[in-house]
């Protein structure tokens, strides 16, 4: 998942980024409101974490402009405990959820996963394709009822392909969605991961669409 984080507090921003990275999130962290406003259309974000008190443009104004521009990305706002009216205004302005500072990073992570599932029209964290079941909540994959152990990168690729079942996912979009999990990898890493997933889930599970990318066919 790729997250846009707009937060000017260095400790909170770094804390969020550090927590999310090993859990399969790539976080683009921006500390300024106007820059955050400009950044949203620049990448395929799955969700936004938006602090309300930001330099140069406050969070509510950023949100108002995004919604005016027709941006539909799910937005979670961060507010201080005494900002009840701000919270209400945020929700009225088009925020999808909020967290009151201080919060536990586990809760932020869970809410981001829920927001991204809701926005993808999938209210449950379980995706099924034939015999293969992927649980985004527990991060487990089963094939024909058997648990299949996976590395973080294998799981992420499987999640990307199964989320788009029946569609061909271009290779560059896969790389983009792998985020930080991809950047550490070798040039042919997607091919290698696909090879490993086929060994674990069956040769026919992922089809290569030559020159474009990969697809998990609908059964």
Which spans of this chain sit near Ca ion (rule: CB under 5 A)?
8, 51, 53
What residues have CB less than 8 Å from 8, skipping those under 6 apart?
A: 31, 32, 51, 53, 54, 55
Question: What's the min distance (Å) between Cβ of 32 and Ca ion?
Answer: 11
Q: Which residues of 95-111 are buried (b: 16+ CB within 10 A; e: fewer)?
A: bbbbbeeeeeeeebbeb
Beta bridge partners of 215: 207
Q: Which CB atom, from 99 or from 192, has the smaller least distance to Ca ion?
A: 99
Q: Which phi and psi (to 5°) does residue 69 adopt?
A: -75, -5
Question: What's the min distance (Å) between Cβ of 87 and Ca ion?
Answer: 15
Q: Which CB atom, from 51 or from 154, has the smaller least distance to Ca ion?
A: 51
Residue of this chain nearest to Ca ion (CB atom): 53
Q: Which CB atom, from 90 or from 179, has the smaller least distance to Ca ion?
A: 90
Question: What's the min distance (Å) between Cβ of 85 and Ca ion?
Answer: 17
Question: What's the min distance (Å) between Cβ of 31 and Ca ion?
Answer: 9
Cα first-last separation, the chain: 26
Q: Which CB atom, from 81 or from 210, has the smaller least distance to Ca ion?
A: 81
């Amino acid at each position: 998942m790729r997250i846009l984080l707009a937060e000017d507090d260095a400790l909170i921003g770094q804390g969020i980024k550090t927590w999310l990275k090993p859990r399969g999130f790539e976080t683009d962290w921006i500390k300024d409101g106007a820059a955050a406003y400009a950044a949203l259309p620049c990448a395929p974000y799955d969700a936004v974490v938006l602090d309300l008190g930001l330099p140069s443009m406050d969070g509510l104004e950023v949100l108002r402009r995004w919604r005016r521009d027709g941006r539909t990305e799910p937005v979670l706002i961060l507010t201080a405990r005494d900002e009840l009216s701000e919270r209400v205004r945020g929700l009225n302005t088009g925020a999808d959820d909020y967290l009151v500072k201080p919060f536990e990073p586990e809760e932020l992570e869970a809410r981001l996963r829920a927001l991204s599932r809701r926005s993808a029209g999938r209210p449950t964290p379980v995706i099924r394709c034939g015999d293969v079941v992927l649980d985004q909540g527990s991060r487990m994959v089963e094939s024909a009822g058997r648990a299949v152990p996976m590395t973080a990168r294998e799981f992420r690729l499987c999640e990307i392909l199964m989320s788009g079942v029946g569609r061909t996912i271009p290779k560059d979009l896969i790389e983009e969605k792998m985020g930080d999990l991809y950047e550490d990898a070798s040039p042919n890493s997607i091919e290698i991961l696909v090879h490993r997933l086929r060994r674990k889930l069956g040769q026919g599970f992922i089809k290569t669409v030559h020159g474009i990318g990969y697809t998990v066919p609908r059964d």
